[in-house]
Amino acid sequence: MKIEIDINELKVGHYVEKIIKQQGEFHLTSPGHIKSIQVINNLKHKKVQTLLIDSSKTIQDSLVNDKKAKLTKELQHAKRIFSESKNIQKQLFSQALSGATLELGPVIDVCNKSIDAIFNNPDSLACIINIRDKDEYLLEHSVSVSVYMTLFARYFKFDRDIIEKLSIGAFLHDIGKIKVPEDILNKPGKLTDVEFTVMKTHANHSINIIERTPGISKLSLEIAALHHEKLDGTGYPFQVKAENIHQYGRMIAICDIFDALTATRVYKKGFSHPKAFAILRELAQQNHLDESLVDHFIKCIGVFPVGSLVQLNSKKLAMIEARNDHTPTRPKVRSFYNVTVNDFIDAEDIDLTQTEDSIEKGICAEEFNLDMNKIIEMLMMDG
């Protein structure tokens, strides 16, 4: 059956007979199937408005990749959860600044949404974390640490009730930062000893605010209180030593530092994931972090985490699309940029186990003046 459809209704797999209406002067070489999102985007760019398709010839097989469509939907859902979480963080900071009691209900609800999303697809929220607004670090950091804590707890197969309490504690762990003067909180250079003393008070403020919150669990309060403690007893605010730091407290310290290392802020670029992992290992060797848990965290997140960027030996930039547990250094990637010509290229799925190409290094979008948000949006649309 031949029908006229709007360009916005055109899908991969449709068989196009001809262009009906357009503002430009584009001509099809011949009738044929739409084989990629790039083709659709090109038609839109050429100002094509309506087309005649033969619906009886629509292909519903491998050209329409259900798995990628499902992943795109999950990523969009994860992005909505992340946005909702930031809005709740904003409300919590406002409540804490005014001295009001925190409303725990919205926190419980959104943390459970995150847990459900992670259990459904552990890579979806982890990928969205890479879309960071350098102006919103204070809001995004606690959300991200909560996501990492949930991923870590799921990795260890903790009970759902425990995971929920850990997620909530991580979500609230930095609430006390709202009490720290902004010029110290956002200072681009190294803090003076006096400034660092003031900065460290955020942990005490967090504890005081959280323990006054009706319905908060002891476990949620405990991990928030321990996130800056070190195994050698040199952490803060209470200089707790290893024997008194439970596994949960050791876990959040790792999640907190990892997110701080990889996040880009107004005054500093984030480290690539491999570089951040190397720093975590250094801190473990200094007896600040639990060495065994650091290794488990790296295994949990992945040597090259889904959603992170790498440069291939072919000089292409690519996003990690799927991990390879058997050969972690050869995951599935999607290339999108050529550094030789400094320009975007048609996205291509590459299974590094099936090619001579390989990962040269992990990179950050800022190294090439790229916008991570636009990259993920583009690749989601292309998917």
* Full set of structural domains in the chain with CATH: 2-57 (no CATH), 66-301 (1.10.3210.10), 309-382 (no CATH)
CA separation for the pair 227, 141 (Å, rounded): 13
Task: Please answer whether residues 35 and 63 qualify as being in contact, where contact means their C-beta atoms are separated by less than 8 angstroms.
Answer: yes
Q: pTM higher than 0.85 for the full model?
A: no
Helices 137-155 and 160-172 pack at an angle, to 10 degrees, of 160
pLDDT at 264: 85
Lookup: tokens for 329? 């250094």
Lookup: tokens for 149? 């804590």
Residue 337 CB neighbour total at 10 angstroms: 21
Average pLDDT of each block of 10 consecutive residues along the chain (383 residues)? Answer: 91 88 83 77 87 85 57 83 96 97 98 95 84 83 97 97 98 97 91 96 98 98 98 98 97 97 86 94 98 96 90 94 86 92 87 89 89 74 51
Long-range contacts: 127-130, Cβ < 8 Å, 24+?
127/75, 127/78, 127/306, 127/307, 127/376, 128/75, 128/78, 128/79, 128/82, 128/307, 128/376, 129/82, 129/259, 129/307, 130/307, 130/308, 130/309, 130/372, 130/376
According to DSSP, the residues that pair with 322 across neighbouring strands are 332
Residue 379 CB neighbour total at 10 angstroms: 21
Q: Within a 13 Å sphere around the CA of 284, how many CA atoms are in the beta-carbon half?
A: 19
Lookup: tokens for 227? 């996130």
Lookup: tokens for 202? 């955020």
The Cα-based distances of 243 to 132, 189, 233, 322 in angstroms read 36, 34, 10, 38
pLDDT at 60: 65
Which is it for strands 15-22 and 48-54: parallel, antiparallel or unpaired? antiparallel
